[in-house]
């Protein structure tokens, strides 16, 4: 094909792709069937178009009509037409009949490319018959059938039971176990403090390292995931499976697969899993890496067939984090939704990240000695900061304001779902300035808020907004009261009664912002 010349097969596909199911079935399919072998080869794009269009817009009756036609094409004399048919069938739904046809073709084909496409199709539709056939044909080094067997085993396991992470199960053998708790960069000291002050974890874990966005723990006694997830300030938990040096590709694949299938990995999986062990492999910050994933998971499966790679709803993730000293391999439970933040019924645009809200609540600490908190969030949004502060206890009164009536409704729903210990909670649709004037001076002990920053919700004059927040805080806070907030501006309060006691630069998902605490003196 000359440079700049369009691919005729792709052009034809795009034309056919725009047609309806009826047009394809009543006009184009009969035309294809009447054509000579040479013409059918030139119009093979029709097979692909049928698979896509019928899968997206076809009714069950229309799919039942086209399925036998595609099955018939599996016996076509053209290997390319057969390949297109085997790729189209899983899209519209295929059963044991289609599986049997493909397995028969797998036995007879001598074309490696066709074997590869058959393996890919059977990965999607295969069941017990495929496992029996593939298991009998596997020979060392056959990557195609090895991957097919693993995918089909994962499909079968998923259909029989999804598999779950056991939060209450106890890991009794903690030898060699290390845990990374990852958080927003800048919040490490708050997370570290939470670990060291936790009554549930006291004596069970030791902090061994603190790095930007990470707190490392070593368990000193048997523990459950439920105990670790009593902490609220971390984002993700990862068990360290190993470190993979960056050498040549073959050595990296072997080292990474070895970490996935290691005795430590098997011990963790078995302790905290119920049902089939399924995981998804993710190369963090490197894109999809499909080729590398395929090489690694196939090798790991060869080393330990009990551990199945499965990209669909796997309860575990194995993440590969790049670092200057080599890649770190971490095993993490995939908990969606996060059980710690069960109360999130709904969110608003620019809502806080729950662990960030928990960190802010913890930074605010308890109120004045011998008194209960009176807490206000001037920009409450979905209410996460207020919920997290209330869950810590000691709140007598709690107020949330927002100019959005929808946000107030969502905050109320989330708060009711959390049902935290709290004397009185009130959510008001109001501008924070008006609310501060109505409440009067010296009425609050804590203001905690993550104000709009102009990134996702436009703000006409963000600087003036922050200045007004400082003014309101100086007015309504009792002596000794605190203002905890994310400050997007490099400005401080004009009122000298507000004294800065704490600040950190925190990663707010793509931009840095100062997390600050002021005390009224």
Locus of tokens 């259909």: 159
**Would you give the DSSP letter of residue 19?**
S
pLDDT at 511 over 50: yes
- Tell me, what's the pLDDT at 6? 58
Q: How far is CA 446 from CA 20, 135, 372, in A?
A: 62, 65, 10
Residues 207 and 111 in one domain: no
Across 465-484, average pLDDT: 96
What's the pLDDT tens digit per position in 426-460?
999 999 999 999 988 899 999 999 998 877 777 88
Give the structural domain span for 223: 170-333
- Tell me, what's the pLDDT at 250? 77
pLDDT at 3 over 60: no
- Tell me, what's the pLDDT at 421? 93
User: What is the separation of C-alpha 105 from the centre of its chain, rounded to a whole number of angstroms?
Assistant: 39
Across 160-169, average pLDDT: 91
- Tell me, what's the pLDDT at 312? 87
- Which three-class secondary structure string do you get for 165-186? ECCCCEECCCCCCCEEEECCCC
Residues 91 and 177 in one domain: no
Locus of tokens 């990240």: 353
Number of domains composing the chain: 3
- Tell me, what's the pLDDT at 459? 83
pLDDT at 296 over 80: yes
Q: How many residues in the chain? A: 521
Query: Does residue 165 fall inside a structural domain?
Result: no
Query: Does residue 3 fall inside a structural domain?
Result: no
CATH no. for residue 72?
1.25.10
Among 333, 357, 380, where does a domain finish?
A: 333
Query: Does residue 339 fall inside a structural domain?
Result: no
Across 147-158, average pLDDT: 92
CA angle centred on 291, ends 285 and 295, rounded to 5°: 110
- Tell me, what's the pLDDT at 287? 67
User: 395-402 and 424-429 as β-strands: parallel, antiparallel, unpaired?
Assistant: parallel
Among 136, 160, 184, where does a domain finish?
A: 160
In this prediction, what percent of the chain has a pLDDT beyond 70?
Answer: 97
**Structure token pair of residue 322:** 């790049």
- Tell me, what's the pLDDT at 370? 59
What's the pLDDT tens digit per position in 98-120?
999 999 999 999 888 999 999 99
- Tell me, what's the pLDDT at 368? 60
**Structure token pair of residue 477:** 């806070």
CATH no. for residue 452?
3.40.50.150
Residues 295 and 266 in one domain: yes
pLDDT at 82 over 60: yes
**Would you give the DSSP letter of residue 138?**
-
Query: Does residue 1 fall inside a structural domain?
Result: no
pLDDT at 5 over 50: no
Residues 287 and 180 in one domain: yes
Please give the backbone phi and psi of residue 401, each rounded to the nearest 5 degrees, phi first: -125, 150
**Would you give the DSSP letter of residue 212?**
T
Among 139, 160, 181, where does a domain finish?
A: 160
CATH no. for residue 299?
3.30.2130.30
CB 333, CB 237: distance < 8 Å = yes
Q: Place 73 in a pLDDT band, splitting at 50, 70 and 90.
A: very high
Q: Place 323 in a pLDDT band, splitting at 50, 70 and 90.
A: confident
Q: Place 30 in a pLDDT band, splitting at 50, 70 and 90.
A: very high
Residues 85 and 152 in one domain: yes
Mean pLDDT of the chain: 92
- Tell me, what's the pLDDT at 417? 97
């Amino acid at each position: 094909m000359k440079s700049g010349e369009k691919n005729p097969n792709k052009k034809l596909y795009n034309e056919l792709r725009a047609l309806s199911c009826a047009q394809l079935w009543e006009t184009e399919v009969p035309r294809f069937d009447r054509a000579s072998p040479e013409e059918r080869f030139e119009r093979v794009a029709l097979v692909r178009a049928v698979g896509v269009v019928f899968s997206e817009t076809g009714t069950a009756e229309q799919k039942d009509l086209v399925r036998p036609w595609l099955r018939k094409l599996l016996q076509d004399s053209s290997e390319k037409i057969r390949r297109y048919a085997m790729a189209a069938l899983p899209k519209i739904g295929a059963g044991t009949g289609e599986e049997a046809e493909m397995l028969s073709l797998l036995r007879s084909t001598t074309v490696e490319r066709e074997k590869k496409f058959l393996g890919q199709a059977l990965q999607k539709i295969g069941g017990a018959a495929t496992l029996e056939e593939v298991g009998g044909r596997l020979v060392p080094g056959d990557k195609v059938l090895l991957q097919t067997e693993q995918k089909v085993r994962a499909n079968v396991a998923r259909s029989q039971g999804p598999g779950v992470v056991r939060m209450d199960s106890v890991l009794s053998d903690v030898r060699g176990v290390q845990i990374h708790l990852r958080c927003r960069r800048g919040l490490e000291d708050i997370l570290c403090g939470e670990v060291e002050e936790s009554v549930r974890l006291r004596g069970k874990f030791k902090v061994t390292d603190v790095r930007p966005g990470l707190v490392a723990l070593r368990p000193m006694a048997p523990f459950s995931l439920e105990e670790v997830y009593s902490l609220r300030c971390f984002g993700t938990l990862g068990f360290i499976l190993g470190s993979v040096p960056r050498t040549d590709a073959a050595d990296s694949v072997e080292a990474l697969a070895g970490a996935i299938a290691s005795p430590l990995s098997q011990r963790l999986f078995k302790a905290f899993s119920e049902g089939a062990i399924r995981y998804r492999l993710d190369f963090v910050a490197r894109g999809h890496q499909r080729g590398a994933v395929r090489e690694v998971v196939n090798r790991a499966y060869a080393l330990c067939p009990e551990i199945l790679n499965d990209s669909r709803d796997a309860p575990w993730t194995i993440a590969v984090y790049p670092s200057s000293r080599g890649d770190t391999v971490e095993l993490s439970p995939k908990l969606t939704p996060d059980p710690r933040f069960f109360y999130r019924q709904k969110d608003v645009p620019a809502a806080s990240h729950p662990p960030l809200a928990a960190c802010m609540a913890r930074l605010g600490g308890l109120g004045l000695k011998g008194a209960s908190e009176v807490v206000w969030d001037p920009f409450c949004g979905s209410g996460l900061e207020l919920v997290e502060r209330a869950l810590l206890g000691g709140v007598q009164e709690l107020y949330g304001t927002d100019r959005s009536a929808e946000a107030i409704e969502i905050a109320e729903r989330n708060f009711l779902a959390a049902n935290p210990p709290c004397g009185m909670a009130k959510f008001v649709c109001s501008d924070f300035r008006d609310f501060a004037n109505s409440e009067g001076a010296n009425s609050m002990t804590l203001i905690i808020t993550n104000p709009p920053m102009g990134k996702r919700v436009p703000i006409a004059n963000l600087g003036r907004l922050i200045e007004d927040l400082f003014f309101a805080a100086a007015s309504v806070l009792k002596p000794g009261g605190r203002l905890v907030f994310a400050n997007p501006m490099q400005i401080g309060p004009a009122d000298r009664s507000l004294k800065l006691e704490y600040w950190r630069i925190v990663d707010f998902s793509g931009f840095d912002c100062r997390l600050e605490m002021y005390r009224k003196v």
